[in-house]
Chain A
């Protein structure tokens, strides 16, 4: 039949009809979306800085890995995070502190332009001072603005002098006692 003229004509008309029908079918599939019929056809986009509907930090899922924060008071400067970091985005400098048991973490910089938020540093932090915050809006105009500094700052001679005075005081106290 397909070789006869009649068959060719039938095939021709069938293909025209199928084409037209499939276009109508596709249009009808999208039709309910115009009126948002049903729960599954709600609009999903939202304006970004929209205080009403936009996601806030509280809407984040519990394990979300946000920007990093280091509680410098608990940080021991053990450099575990610096060692494990795959992108070497953590820079640490530490100096001997007021007493020999504590180190003074003068520089603790995290370069968020390099960070991939893999979470290895948080996992390996021995004192548990490094944590993921629920902050995720870190866009900045300059690369240098992306560096977060948590360090205590370099030790100045005044610091040294003060600590020396303190140490002397405690030593002299001991002598007195």
Chain B
């Protein structure tokens, strides 16, 4: 501590420790910034304030309860954690998923993706201090949460996926309501664009800020929207399709550099808007033809014990590549469950991106990376 102070005297830098709880941080984390005036010279990120011992807890519970824990890997987008575990377990047990269950899972995933990206818009709006759009976006996300409640009975921790399918069949009118919500969000996107995308004040705040370069993507292993905004068209849904995503017709949008340079905050924002559009495209295709049949593999009973073996599943969550390594030794509890959350890579990128920006831009940069600290700390 003393030597650090001496450094700061010698170099005319100010040290400022933010966190773990601070308005400019999207989640509990600590940043030690050294400031040169208002410009950040360097920063260190410290995480772990939301550590819950999730992976260890999974080992202590029966297989059935693991799914309800995977919910809490990232409470905002619960279904991705569940899906990662289920896919890995289904690979170990060689369980066939009925096509209807696959469709329901894709509907849930894409709805979660839209909901997560809407939450991202809210965080961005909060960071740049635009109040009105927060309420518009939250109002529209509410419709998606209502859909979740209609299908699964819960709004956030769904606990809906099961090994070999899903917990229950879709209720009457659910598909129609999904389409209705898609249509509503398509209309609302114009409002978001007017209030945000075409707003000069927002452009000034975000363009050419915190540019992610292809080198940085390789250095940190950034995946998901953040890397696609920097021009890297890597999407597990296309590159290693799961759940039958390869039969669907959708594009993977990449950043085009409308704000000035490819991979800046504005690109990351626009890319999320485009991903919402693509997710709605997927939802429409799925809704047109939900296959008839079982919603869960009938051979799988409730207390299903996974046979010995291990598997690694990769899915595209709303933040990037979510991996899940499941090891089973044939007992009633899992032997090891390990997650590879995409946020960890984004967190590593923070200390590369933040130096050189003003502290007023720190909240904007942090929220543009869409850090889900819950999944990083687990």
Partner of B62, one of A25, A44, A83: A83
Q: In residues 158-207 of chain B, which contact A (Cβ within 8 Å)?
A: 159, 167-168, 171, 184, 187-188, 191, 194-195, 198-201
> Which of the candidate stretches B104-112, B143-151, B237-245, B262-270 sits at the interface with the other chain?
B143-151
CA distance A72 to B235 in the complex (A): 51
Pick the residue among B69, B72, B195 that contacts A30 (CB under 8 A).
B195
Tell me which of B68, B139, B146, B200 contacts A18 (CB under 8 A): B200
CB of B139 within 8 A of CB of A116, answer no
Chain A residues, CB < 8 A from B65: 84-86, 118, 120
Q: Which of B72, B139, B146, B159 has the most CB of A within 10 A?
A: B159
Q: Is B32 an interface residue (CB 8 A)?
A: no
User: Quick one: which of A18, A29, A120, A123 has the most chain B CB within 10 A?
Assistant: A29
Q: Is the CB of B150 within 8 A of A25?
A: no
Query: Please, what's the 1-or-0 string for B107-135, where 1 marks a CB less than 8 Å from any CB in chain A?
Result: 00000000000000000000000001000
Are A22 and B201 touching (Cβ within 8 A)?
A: yes
Interface band, chain A: 20 to 34
Q: Check A118–B68 contact: CB distance below 8 A.
A: yes
Query: For residues 72 through 123 of chain A, which have their beta carbon under 8 Å from a beta carbon of chain B?
Result: 83-86, 116-120, 123
By a CB distance below 8 angstroms, the chain A residues around B153 are: 61, 63-65, 119, 132
In the complex, which of the residues A22, A30, A40, A117 contacts B187, with contact meaning CB atoms closer than 8 Å? A40
Interface residues of A in 26-81 (CB under 8 A from B): 26, 29-30, 40, 44, 61-65
B132 closest partner in A (C-beta): A30
- Asked if A135 is at the interface (CB within 8 A of a chain B CB), the reply is no
A154 to B105, alpha carbons, bound, how many Å? 46
A132-B149 Cα distance, complex, nearest whole Å: 14
- Whether B302 is near chain A, meaning CB under 8 Å from some CB there, is yes
Cα–Cα, bound, A63→B201 (Å):
44
In the assembled complex, the Cα of A36 lies from the Cα of B71 at a distance in Å of 38
Residues from chain B with Cβ under 8 Å of A132 in the complex: 153
Q: How far is the CB of B43 from chain A (nearest CB, A)?
A: 31
Assess whether B146 is in contact with A61, with CB atoms less than 8 Å apart.
Answer: yes
Give B131 Cβ to nearest chain A Cβ, in Å.
11
Bound-complex Cα distance A62 to B72 (A): 24
Is the Cβ of A120 less than 8 Å from the Cβ of B151? Answer: no
Q: Evaluate contact between A118 and B157: CB separation under 8 angstroms.
A: yes
Distance of A15 Cα from B207 Cα, bound (Å): 15
Contacting pair A61 B157 (CB below 8 A): no
- Contacts of A26 on B, CB cut-off 8 Å? 194-195, 199
Asked if B187 and A61 sit within 8 Å, CB to CB, the answer is no
**Inter-chain contact B150/A23, CB cutoff 8 Å:** no
Instruction: Return B333 CB to nearest CB of chain A, in Å.
Output: 12
* Interface contact A40-B200, CB-CB below 8 Å: no
Q: Which residues of A contact B184 (CB under 8 A)?
A: 40
A132 to B159, CA, bound (A): 15
Which residues in A have their C-beta under 8 angstroms from that of B201? 19, 22-23
A-B contact pairs, 6 of them (CB 8 A): A22-B198, A23-B201, A63-B171, A86-B69, A117-B157, A132-B153
Those 4 A-B pairs whose CB atoms lie nearest each other, nearest first = A63-B153, A118-B68, A29-B194, A22-B200
